[in-house]
Amino acid sequence: AERRSQIWNKNDILIHPWKYFDLNVAEKIQYSPQNNAVEQKYGELFVIHKPLTWFDYGLGYRVSYSNVEIDWVQENRAMLVAEFKQQYHNFWFKFSNRFEYRDYKVDLDHFRYKQQFTVTFPSLASWGMQFYTSEESFTKLNGVGTHLARLYGGISGVHSKHFQLKLYYAFEKYKLIENWNSRDIMGLNLSFIL
């Protein structure tokens, strides 16, 4: 069978209301060219505390809708995040952790853990062009185990004081029942910093 694909678009606004605190509001759409339809959409809010240059943590909440065969399924997700980062010879290394409680209207609720490791390469231009690579995996804590993993390769095309644009490709492996399937993802992220 032909490998499935999706096109992702995420738009977010980052606000710095107080010293050491950030608010991040985002919305994301995941579109399927094969189905010519939006398969998932969500909105989320994070409050992040940055006590140290190499560490931050925070709380988030997401409302998500997935387009399944019959109807749209809603998920409410509470999240606790922690991130460690370090610069070494103009390379940035970031290790992110996220604990989630996923609350569904029609499915079994569960806790899940996400980990992500990202390497950002030195800037290639004064206006902020940088390559980055990342891996992430998701583990359901209800006995199912790891059920989703992605490898990313991307470019930060524009990085200014108030705007950032990222383009990326991701290869995804996801588990349905006992079978692992693959998906290709092309994505665009637009960030506005106030």
User: DSSP letters along 54-122, please?
Assistant: TEEEEEEEEEEEEE-SSSEEEEEEEEEEEEEEEEETTEEEEEEEEEEEEEESSS--EEEEEEEEEEEPP
**Average pLDDT of the residues in 14-35:** 95
118-159 pLDDT per residue, tens: 999 998 877 778 999 999 999 999 888 999 999 999 999 877
User: Hey, is 33 helix, strand or coil?
Assistant: coil
Q: What is the pTM of this model?
A: 0.92
Structure tokens at 175: 């588990």
160-169 pLDDT per residue, tens: 788 999 999 9
Say what the pLDDT of residue 1 is.
Answer: 53
**Burial label, 18 (beta-carbon count in 10 A; 0-12, 13-18, 19+):** exposed
Say what the pLDDT of residue 177 is.
Answer: 81
